Amino acid sequence: MKFAFFDAKPYDKPGFDHYCQGTDLEIKYFETRLNEDTVSLAAGCDGVCVFVNDIVNAAVVNRLYEMGVRMIALRCAGFNNVDTRACYGKIHVFRVPAYSPYAVAEHAMALILTIIRRTHKAYNRTREFNFSLSGLSGFDLHGKTVGVIGTGKIGRIFADICKGFGMEVLAYDRYQSPGYHYVELPELLQRSDIISLHCPLTEDTHHIIDEKAISMMRKGVIIVNTSRGALVDTEALIEGIKEKKVGAACLDVYEEEADLFYEDFSGHIVQDDKLVRLISMPNVIVTSHQAFLTEEALNNIAETTVNNILNFFHGVPSPETEVCYHCGRQNDCRKERHQKCF
């Protein structure tokens, strides 16, 4: 088995090389991202391994299929960058649904603590021997209300962390889990001091935080997004910050991050005016989609992805990790019978 590994970074290789040892899987690493211009690099491969900013649209899917590719292995949980409809009946798609939900949930809380206690500013000051406390006042999390949009594994762990701080947790999700206080979205927006996004990006959740949603929020609300950038309408967020409706924003993802994140632009003029405006604001923290980046998560991603590949080509179904395109056969779902999707 030969796989083309796109958007490869130095921290990816050790784990994948380790789990490939002693198997019949050969990985060819490419630093470039997968898109319509680079898809030809997968020629002669049985599958491709992709990440969040690789573009796997219908044109790419069809070209991959023509070249004999029969599997797409996502080394992440989200799959909004893959046209699953185009894949159905041609190429099987697998993901890593839970590489380390603790990593993302803990990063979300780290961002919150940083922004409310001004630790990033204090760090910069003390490095210049400025020990003034002026402008560093924060507030307690204890007793505050946090709204958690999306209560999958990451959202539930984040909610539990917030409970540990003595916060009241409001939750919103179409699929509810026991032990959490669920409310409708408008109520969550109106009552929350902090709103944290932990839902996948779908047609229903695209710009779930927009101008209308922000207008319903409390003055001074903190918005946290460690899920997918397009959950937040960036222009609406900027206006909300300028109007002082939004007190702060903590963003590990950005709507137009694909051409920027994971790369070093420190010696260049960044042309994305919205991102430049956000980073220039004193009450905004932007990290470069790094919430997942822990040793435990990287190890789990490599192990699960390699297992997905080996199981597929050795005929072992993995319905818990195969991405399902809802084909409409509700009463005859092959995945529910622990078979391949098609």
Task: Please identify every residue annotated as catalytic.
Answer: 228, 257, 289
User: CA–CA separation, 308 vs 29, rounded Å?
Assistant: 18
Tell the residue number behind the tokens 């072992």, with chain if given.
Answer: 316
DSSP letters of 182-232? B--HHHHHHH-SEEEE-----TTTTTSBSHHHHHTSPTTEEEEE-S-GGGB
Is the CB of residue 12 less than 8 Å from the CB of residue 5?
Answer: yes
Q: What is the dihedral of CA 78, 102, 110, 230, to 10 degrees?
A: 10
Is the CB of residue 105 less than 8 Å from the CB of residue 297?
Answer: no
CA distances from residue 186 to 124, 177, 244, 274 in whole angstroms, order as listed: 38, 19, 20, 27
Is the CB of residue 287 less than 8 Å from the CB of residue 229?
Answer: no
Phi and psi torsions of 208, nearest 5°: -65, -25
> Cβ-count burial of 331 within 10 angstroms (0-12 exposed, 13-18 middle, 19+ buried)?
exposed
In terms of DSSP bridges, do strands 194-197 and 145-149 run parallel, antiparallel, or are they unpaired?
parallel
Nearest to 200, CA basis, from 310, 33, 74:
74
